[in-house]
Structure 1
Amino acid sequence: MMDWDAIMAVANHLPFAPTYKGVAAASFVFFGFTPLSVMNRLLTADMKWRGLWILPILGMFTLLASFFIPIGYHGTEAIENYVYPWTTTSDSLEMEYGLIERAIFIFSSLYLNLSMLYAIVAWHVALEWFKGGFSKKRHVNPDQTERPLLIKIICGVFVILVFMYVKLLNEQQFFEFGAFVHEWNFGIEAVLVALLIYIGWGRKAA
């Protein structure tokens, strides 16, 4: 059952300044603009943008729900004892008249599919960056089907590093490394945005 007092207790901390680690972890959800460095070739001038105003509203409701619902179900003290709060929360949800009794089956399927989608996009963007960095051509053809040997070697190195990462690190080290990546990623993304703004202003001035 939802505990609204727990939700209000957490919401009362809004006036207090967060830590850098908390800001870095929370800002990760807003870094979806990074793939646009590669996917922007799909954006054309004749695209229709009507109705996009509803996306920030839906996104805000989704973020608030994903943050406050586990706290409402488990309380402010018990929630910190769970490694994956939403997995535990979905396991406690029951659909009495549904074809699937427990909500964890739906949540797990959606979570795995979204994780796989993010991994595919992240690897594709990284590969395209490497292609642009090592290419001698000024403009890289995005529709090129043949991949040079160097790209295949880079992909092979990525695969080896992933297997080494899984084999050599335990769960605690996973979280420590993830926190480290979030902290550094926040600074790098901030510098990247500032650089793009500076380049945009320079073009307007020219």
Structure 2
Amino acid sequence: MSWDAIRHSATYVRTMPTWGGGAAAAFLFSGATSLIWYQKIINWKTSTGQTSYSRILLITTGSGVLLLLVAYFVPIGFFGMEALQHLNYIWFSVEDSVRMKWFVVERLVYVYMLIFALYTFFGVISSWHIAFHYAKSFLINRSRKVEWLLLAVFAAVPFGFVYVVDINLFIRIGRYFVISRIIGNMCLIVLLIYLARKKSNAHV
């Protein structure tokens, strides 16, 4: 771990990020779209029955900032800023560089791959679940056949991408996706704030 590289990278805090870099960093905070659906079952209320906004702010902002700092500084500490430009799967390379001499698994990359696979599996299920309910909410006909048709489309698109898209095109699509997602999330948050204020003014 090179602390000099980490200190050098910290000096870029005054540099304006690009759209792609800013969108990739803001992707950690894009869970607001998921909370729109999951807030029905998450208990954000205190014992008095009021919504704890401080709890929401602490959990979302605190965890997001911590993950952002780790994701930014740790790879730079291992490889430096110049070497990272030539890596596609940065965290796989980071974990492959970690050795544990007195452990059952010597190379940490195997543990990381297992955790990453579980996280990816959970993310896919959660994303499909939310997208399915969002898509279903726009439909007038919500029969079982329509639901199965939506699931078939969700399953066919990823498998089609595997046979059509190569890794370079997939990375470019991912870059466009995170940029469009941050713009969409900002518009969604502005819309929700407007609707919330409109609703509160209606009750006055």
Which band: TM-score by shorter chain?
A: 0.7 to 0.9
1:69 alignment partner in structure 2: 74
1:162 to 158, 177, 183: 158
Shift of 1:71: 0.8
Aligned length: 196
Q: Tell me how far apart the structure 2 counterparts of residues 184 and 105 of structure 1 sit (CA, whole Å).
A: 33
Q: What is the CA-CA distance between 1:132 and the residue it aligns to?
A: 1.3
CA distance in 1, matches of 2:124, 2:201: 38
**1:168 deviation in Å?**
0.3
The alignment status of 1:4 with 2:3, answered yes or no, reads yes
**Identity in percent:** 27
CA distance, structure 2, for counterparts of residue 58 and residue 31 of structure 1: 13
Distance in 2 separating the partners of 1:194 and 1:51: 21
Residue 84 of structure 1 aligns with which residue? 89
Change (3 A) 1:108 1:3: same
Indicate the larger mover: 48-57 or 122-131: 48-57
Shift of the 136–155 alpha-carbon distance from structure 1 to 2, 3 Å rule, reads: closer
Letter in 2 for 1:157: V
Matches within 5 A, 1:48-197: 53=58, 56-135=61-140, 148-197=144-193
Q: 2-side partners of 1:183 and 1:84: how far apart?
A: 20
Structure 1 regions of 5+ residues with no counterpart?
138-146
**3-state secondary structure, aligned to 2:14:** coil
Q: How much has 1:8 moved relative to structure 2?
A: 1.3
- CA shift for structure 1 position 175: 0.2
Query: Contact 1:90/1:104 (CA < 8 Å) preserved in 2?
Result: yes
Alpha-carbon spacing, 1:153–1:85, altered in 2? closer, same or farther (3 Å): same
Pair 132,191 (structure 1): closer, same or farther in 2 beyond 3 Å: same
Name the CA shift for 1:155/1:21 in 2 (closer, same or farther; >3 Å).
same
Q: Deviations over 1:119-145 (max 9, x none)?
A: 1100000111122111469xxxxxxxx
- Whether the aligned pair in 2 keeps the contact of 1:25 and 1:183 (CA below 8 Å) is yes
TM-score, length-scaled by structure 2: 0.88
- Identify the residue that residue 27 of structure 2 maps to in structure 1: 28
Could you tell me which runs of 5 or more consecutive residues in structure 2 were left unpaired when the two chains were aligned.
none
- Residues 1:56 and 1:191: Cα distance change in structure 2 (over 3 Å): closer
TM-score when scaled to structure 1?
Answer: 0.87
Query: Within 2, Cα distance between the matches of 1:160 and 1:61?
Result: 36
| 1:54 Cα offset (Å) | 6.4
Given that residues 6 and 77 in structure 2 are in contact (C-alpha distance below 8 angstroms), is that contact kept between their aligned partners in structure 1?
Answer: yes
